Amino acid sequence: MKIALNYLGVMLLLTRGAVADEREAQPESEGLLSVLRNGEFHFIPRYRYEYNDEDGMPNLGKSSTLRTRLNYRTPAARGWTAFLEVDDVRSIGRDLYNSTRNGRIDRPLIPDPEGTELNQALIGYADERYTFAVGRQRLSFDDQRFIGPSSWRQNEQTLDAVTGRARYSFAELAYSYVDNVNRTVGPDSGAPPADLRSNSHLLNARFVLGPLGSLSTFAYLFEFDNSPELSTNTYGALWNGSVGLTDTLNLVYTLSFAHQEDATNNLNNFTAEFGQLQAGLKYRNWTALIGRDVLTGDRNQLNASFQTPLGTLHGRQGFADKFTTTPAQGLTDDYVSLNATWRNLNLLVTVHRFAAEVTDQDYGSEVDVQLTYRVATRYDVLLKLADYSSDGFATDTAKMYFQFAASF
């Protein structure tokens, strides 16, 4: 947090100086006040009720939490801006859930701990081709499987990092150096850790292939001082495409592959692979998909399965969150989904079948339903249901989420 605040202070000085140069006739104090008056301020409350009925637990999990977000962005001065964002998460009523920090281990896990945190504090520069950001920032690449903010959780994941991007007509290149990971279970210390002390490098290059879609290639080189088992090098590619069959009907597809290996301070010696094959049909506002995700494991070795510790984890393999960490024997996820939008209403239905990758063990199946309704472009109402049926991995679990969010 100290690093991020130092970055923000430097940016305010730079912005102040730039505005003073442009308005030499104004007193120095008026130049700074003008910056503050002309900036953008946003108030974004988000309330969520989450219900978790998990077999094997003596009690139900019920959380009622309110996240209040305040952020402010200065006006651009010669391409430079400063951005500050603070999040506060509060439990409303009794704590009837295990937040990872409240000691309620007699209740199912709902990892939304209370706390107030500096979510983002950065300085940035942008022109037609280049962007630059230094400080605490929200970062995502591609479909967020490997790098994402996990924004579903009330306290999202942000990075203390330096990020640069270069955009061309056919490509976008990005690099980030990550000094610290501020995890969703923060800001208070505990288990799992609120921070990952990092010395990591993220490289991503996305190329536009015209009628062939787009191709992203990446190298994510993780090193974590306080979680060495997560220190890995991951190299891969993601190809998204679409083929027009008629004026209103398109074939859409995704193909992805990644290789992962131990790195730096990781005491485990392993390699693992990830693969995704997905195809479907898109008709106007309707999309039907069928796909398979494979994350390899090892029947004889722990800490040797493919992991994505900085990715957006919720919903990646089901809304019940049974596979946010890949099991030791790997994971195969076969799924079909339907996504439809009618006016301001969106419906998503997905059915999963989970199994081990290195054995013939079935893990279980899951049905997920999500309804989202937008009101007047400012309000969002969400209802989400998840029903996981175990075939030997974890336990039967039913979850319900209700969420109301606004933006001012």
Give residue 3's pLDDT.
47
Q: Beta partners for 372?
A: 346, 382
Asked whether the predicted pLDDT for residue 192 surpasses 60, the reply is yes
Asked whether the predicted pLDDT for residue 240 surpasses 80, the reply is yes
Give residue 15's pLDDT.
43
Residue type at 369 in one-letter notation: V
Give residue 20's pLDDT.
44
Closest CA to 316 of 329, 304, 303, 307: 307
Q: Specify the long-range contacts of residues 300-305, CB closer than 8 Å, at least 24 apart.
A: 301/268, 301/270, 301/328, 302/268, 302/328, 303/229, 303/268, 303/270, 303/328, 304/268, 304/270, 304/272, 304/328, 305/272, 305/329, 305/330, 305/331
Tell me if 338 sits within 8 A of 287, measured CB to CB.
Answer: yes
Tell me: the pLDDT tens digits for 95-125? 999 999 999 999 999 999 999 999 999 999 9
Q: What percent of the chain has pLDDT over 70?
A: 91
Residue type at 94 in one-letter notation: R
Q: What percent of the chain has pLDDT over 90?
A: 88
Band (pLDDT 50/70/90 cuts) for residue 330 is very high
Summarize the confidence of residues 313-337 as an average pLDDT: 96
Tell me: the pLDDT tens digits for 354-403? 999 999 899 999 999 999 999 988 999 999 999 999 999 999 999 999 99
Q: What is the pTM of this model?
A: 0.91
Tell me: the pLDDT tens digits for 249-273? 999 999 999 999 999 999 999 999 9
Band (pLDDT 50/70/90 cuts) for residue 34 is low
Band (pLDDT 50/70/90 cuts) for residue 37 is confident
Q: How far apart, in Å, are the Cα atoms of 84 and each of 31, 197, 296?
A: 19, 22, 40
Band (pLDDT 50/70/90 cuts) for residue 35 is low
Give residue 32's pLDDT.
65
DSSP 339-401: EEEETTEEEEEEEEEEE-SSSS-EEEEEEEEEEEEEETTTEEEEEEEEEEEESSSS--EEEEE
DSSP 210-241: GGG-EEEEEEEE--BSS-GGG-EEEEEEEEEE
Domain coordinates of the chain in residue numbers? 314-408
